[in-house]
Chain A
Amino acid sequence: MGIRTRLMKQRVMISLSYLSILLTLGILGAVIFFTFLNGIKSWNLAFFTEAQKFPLNPRQGISHAIQGSLILSLTASAIAAPISILAAIYLTEYADERLRESFDSILDVMASTPSIVVGVVSYILIVLPLQGFSALSGAVALAIMMMPIMTRACEDALMSIERRYREAGLALGLHKWRVSLSIILRMAKGGVLTGFALAFGRVFGETAPLLMTALGSRTFFSGFFEPVSSITLLIYEYSKSPFEIWIDIAWGASLLLMLLTLGINVSIRLWMGKKGG
């Protein structure tokens, strides 16, 4: 093969690579651009302060859905965090290496379970026995999604603490569980919190597990055993509706969701960068 054909080939391949990057970034840019263009129109005071109204009422908003999303994600975190921390402490401080490795693989598989499956499981485990859709079942569904992410993040954070700190704790006449909880876990706090924030950001934008559990609602949160709205459920419902006002609000809600998840992820990156990680 001559030098000319080879140079030619190289140019073609490099051009193709550039094109692919442009295409990917272009699609992402278009998503952000159109969401912004369509979403910003419906942003006004009522959008953030009012709840759902009759579809033709121009003064309505998504505050009940924002409240619902926060309640669902925070409750899910409150369920998942202590379980994940204890599981991670068991795996790093007590389990032998073979057991830890097999659990890690299981957790990795769990973390990539399709979210609709988590929804179905929660429906069978909680919605059916309680005979009704509820905020609680939605939070549990989200907690199931958070746990493997949180546990793995906690594990990594705990494992990064050198053994000598554990021995220094033991040498002070402290019980092993005391050393794990009061010394090692506190030293690993940064990594643990980063993992929580990542898991939070991940489930904040979830719809599928909530469709069959929290269901959605027209009003504010009215108890853990009642259905509750979320930003994602509202987008899902409104975007299918024939009403122009609701469709605009769905765009506005999409913009808010996009900015919030982006905000969470960027903050985590900045925070981790500052810590020199």
Chain B
Amino acid sequence: MTLPEPGQADSVILRVENLGRSVPGKILVSGATFEVRKGETLAIVGPSGSGKSSLLRLLNRLDEPTTGTVYVDGTDYRQIPPRELRRRIGMVLQRPFLFPGKVAENLQFGPKQRGQNLSPAEIEELLAGVGLSGFESRDVSNLSGGEAQRVSFARALANSPEALLLDEPTSALDEAAKRDVETLIRQIGQEHGIPCVLVTHDVAQAARLAERALVLEGGQIVRSGPVKEALHA
């Protein structure tokens, strides 16, 4: 895959400027500035408590920044209605948190929020894309951990996002399921051109999946750049 040149303006999907969040007595994230470009996977790595997930939650405004902002396709995200912003910037969490019912109903959840319905063919296509063809009518309570996580990817993709935020998406999975999800993350970038921001504590996983990485310590970015340079500096 050919990555756009760094700084190429039309390839930048998210531009993060001086983003930070503090709560009384604690700075969670401070002065984060970086870009996310079309089709790339950007890893955010760092030890536990370094602010990785806090930073990710600021990118789709699940938490309110206390400094700075994010530009989505050049628009300050505070000017975008939160529901529209979160449709455009999808998110997959460590645990899939599927809603009770059938797999197809979970895929319909996002589009239904804006009064749309996915056709059966669209549902089949989404499920095929995550390697779960024929799972439409399966009850979510009968899925394995890996299958449930892949359904949560398909559910996020059903919203046609412009970027995906992934918060430790494989840390609750066994080795086989982890490999399947890693393959899926590569496909999302390569086949759909959707950039992924991947939070992981697993440096080897970051090296396998990402083109660039940010290393966080104490809520601040201490290193950034091409993944090998950033991780092995």
Partners in one complex: no
The interface of chain B, by Cβ under 8 A from chain A, is: none
